[in-house]
Amino acid sequence: MLDNEKVCLMTKIAVYEKSKGKQDIMRAQYHQKDYISLNNFKMQLSVTFALIILFSIEFSSIVMDSSVTATTTLLIGIGVKYLLIWLLFMIGYTILSTINNKKEYLESKHRIEEYETLLNDLDKIQ
The answer to whether position 103 is within a domain reads yes
DSSP 75-87: HHHHHHHHHHHHH
The answer to whether position 73 is within a domain reads yes
The answer to whether position 3 is within a domain reads no
* Domain containing residue 74: 30-125
Q: Render pLDDT for 63-118 as a digit per residue (tens, 0 to 9).
A: 787 666 667 788 888 889 999 999 999 999 999 999 999 999 999 999 999 999 99
The structural domain count of the chain equals: 1
Q: Render pLDDT for 47-59 as a digit per residue (tens, 0 to 9).
A: 999 999 999 998 8
The answer to whether position 24 is within a domain reads no
Q: Which residue, among 51, 55, 52, 59, has the nearest Cα to 93 in the 3D structure?
A: 51
The answer to whether position 102 is within a domain reads yes
User: Based on the number of CB atoms within 10 Å of its own CB, is 19 exposed (0-12), middle (13-18) or buried (19 or more)?
Assistant: exposed
The answer to whether position 22 is within a domain reads no
* Threshold 0.75, pTM exceeds: yes
Other beta carbons within 10 Å of 45: 10
Q: E strands of 1-126, at which residues?
A: none
The answer to whether position 44 is within a domain reads yes
